[in-house]
Amino acid sequence: MTARRRRRAPPAEPEYRPGQLLDWRSSEHWSERELPCRYCGFPTHLRDSRMKAAHKTCAEDALTIQAAEAADAYHQNGQTT
């Protein structure tokens, strides 16, 4: 006879605080040339990991939205009950 396993509760949602998700202290994220941010369009010297112009907070907001959309798609496809 096999034992029944209980389902674990999903992990608690981590508390998101702007400015704490990405670490852009490296000089690789800085450029002398100012370009429009790929998310908001305002000029910035910052570059993301793909070397595209992006403000750090704009990139963090985009990652948060992507994670929420992925979680919603996962739940809508019946993967969790």
Q: Is residue 51 part of a domain?
A: yes
Q: Is residue 19 part of a domain?
A: no
Q: Is residue 41 part of a domain?
A: yes
pTM of the model: 0.63
At 6, the pLDDT band (50, 70, 90 cuts) reads low
Number of structural domains in the chain:
1
Whole-Å CA distances, 53 to 20, 41, 45, 57, 73: 19, 9, 7, 12, 28
Q: What is the pLDDT of residues 16-75, one digit of tens each?
A: 555 566 778 888 889 999 999 999 999 999 998 889 999 998 998 898 888 888 888 887
Domain that holds residue 45: 27-76
Q: Is residue 50 part of a domain?
A: yes
